[in-house]
Amino acid sequence: MPVCLSKSAKRTESKTKVKLTRCGKITLGILMTVIAALLVGLVVYFAAYGKIPFYYHVSFKVNSINYDEKFAKPYSKEYMDLNKKIVSLINKTFHESRLRRQYVTSHVVQVSRANGKVVIHVVLKFKSCCKNNAAKFWDRIETILRQKLTGQIGSLLIDASSFKFSDIAMPIAENLLHTCCGQRTITPSGNKIAGGQDAEEGEWPWQASLQQNNVHRCGATLISNHWLVTAAHCFIKANDPKEWNVTFGLLLSDPKTQRAVKNIIIHENYHYPAHDNDIAVVHLASPVLYTSNIRRACLPETNHTFPPSSDVVVTGWGTLRTDGKIPNILQKASVKIIDNKTCNSGKVYGGVVTPGMLCAGFLRGHVDACQGDSGGPLVSADDKGTWFLVGIVSWGDECALPNKPGVYTRVTYYRDWIMSKTGL
C-alpha cells in the first residue's frame, strides 16, 4: 500500500484519484482472489470431511470386570458408569488419532457375558466424504482400536484377541445412539401455548401428538420405544385403541413418524369428572426407532423432588388462549412449580389440589398450558441437562388467568403405577 501512495503522490490530484482507484482495483482483485480461494478451500474441506455418516459396531472383552446382572439393565448405575468410562476412553483414542476430524461419537449399546467377564458392544459414528472410502476407513479404525485399546488401560484390562468389528445400518445405529433418556441433540436459541413460543425440531423429542381418527386431541410423552404416558381424561369419549394413533415431529401437518396404538391403560381410579388419577399409558403397536428428533424423557423415581419455584417447561399443540385456535407448530412455555399449599389457598384453587397433583405457572397468569395440551409433558432439566418428566397436563380454570395456574398429574406420585403397567 505505501508503494501505491508514494507513486501516485507525484501526479496531479485527478491522476492520483485514478491511480488510487486502480490501486483499489488491484487490492479488490487480491481480496476477491483470497475470498474465492477461501471458498474453494471450504468446499474442499466439506467435501473431504463432509456429511456422510458411517457406523461401526465393535465388541471386546474386558478381563478386569466380572459380569454382574446389573449390566443387563442399560440404565442401571453400573451400566452408565461403564458406558461413561468406555466412551471417554474411545473419545480420547480418536481425538488423539488422525481420524480426529471424522470421529463423531460412540455409545455402549450392550454389555454381555463371556466366561464370567464382560463383553462390551459399542457403536461408533464417523463422518466422511464418500462411500468408496469405507474400506480404507474400516482399516484405519480397526488399526487404531487394536493399537490403542489393548492391554491394561487404567483399571481396564482389554483382551486383544476378543475384538470383533462389523458394519451396522444407519437407522439401527442411530436408534442405539439415541436410547438415553432426557437428552436432546439441539440446544434452542431462545421462550404459544398461552404465552409461549414456537419450539424447534429436536428440542422436545419426547413430545407426541395423540390423535383420534387423525385429529390432534392430546399431548403425550414418550418414555420408551413402546410406551407413552398421557392423561386419562383424553379417553373419556373414546377408549378404543383402533381409533387412536400417535405422531412425532414438530409440525402436526408434517409428522416425522406415526404409530398405531395397541393398547390404552387408564388408571383404575380415574372417575370423570373428578380430576384425581388423571393418568394413562399408551402401548404402541410397533416400537419407534429413536433418532436425534425422537427420544424418550426420563421418568423420575418416587423420591425425586422438584422444589417449588424451580423452572419447568410445558410443551404442546394446545390452543394459544381459552377457546383459541390449535397451532401447527409445537409450542413451549417456561413456568415455575407452585407448591400445593399455595395452590390450595383460598384465592387459588381452595383445597381441590390433591397430593397426586402439582401446580405450575404464575399466580400473575399470562403463561400456561391450555386446551389440547392435556396429556403432554411438563419437564425439568437437572444440572447435567437431563430432562425428567415432572407432570402431565391435566386441568386448570380456563387458561393463563391470574391465580389459576395449570394443574398437572404428579409423575413421582404415580411412578409405581407406571412401573406396574409398563415394567419401566
* Interaction site with ligand ARG (CB under 6 A): 318, 368-374, 393, 395-396, 399, 406
In the complex, least distance from residue 317 CB atom to ligand ARG, rounded to whole angstroms: 10
Cell of 16: 492520483
List of long-range contacts for 12-16, beta carbons under 8 Å, 24+ apart: none
286 is catalytic: no
Q: Which residues contact 149 (CB under 8 A, 6 or more apart)?
A: 60, 89, 90, 93, 158
Of 203 and 373, nearer to ligand ARG (C-beta) is: 373
Out of 107, 178, 226, 233, pick the active-site residue.
233
Percent helix, strand and coil across the chain, each to the nearest 5 = 30, 30, 40
In the complex, least distance from residue 342 CB atom to ligand ARG, rounded to whole angstroms: 16
Greatest Cα pair distance in the chain: 98
Out of 97, 374, 380, 394, pick the active-site residue.
374
Of 65 and 370, nearer to ligand ARG (C-beta) is: 370
Of 109 and 370, nearer to ligand ARG (C-beta) is: 370
278 is catalytic: yes
Three-point CA angle 378, 283, 179, nearest 5°: 65
Q: How far apart are CA 259 and CA 240, in angstroms?
A: 15
Q: Return the bridge partners of 251, or none.
A: 329
In the complex, least distance from residue 347 CB atom to ligand ARG, rounded to whole angstroms: 16
Of 59 and 319, nearer to ligand ARG (C-beta) is: 319
226 is catalytic: no
Out of 59, 106, 278, 394, pick the active-site residue.
278
Between 13-48 and 2-9, two packed helices, what is the crossing angle to 10 degrees? 160
Looking at beta carbons, which residue is closest to ligand ARG? 396
In the complex, least distance from residue 368 CB atom to ligand ARG, rounded to whole angstroms: 5
In the complex, least distance from residue 374 CB atom to ligand ARG, rounded to whole angstroms: 3
Position 109, amino acid: V
Of 202 and 372, nearer to ligand ARG (C-beta) is: 372
Between 77-95 and 134-148, two packed helices, what is the crossing angle to 10 degrees? 110
Q: Which residues are catalytic?
A: 233, 278, 374
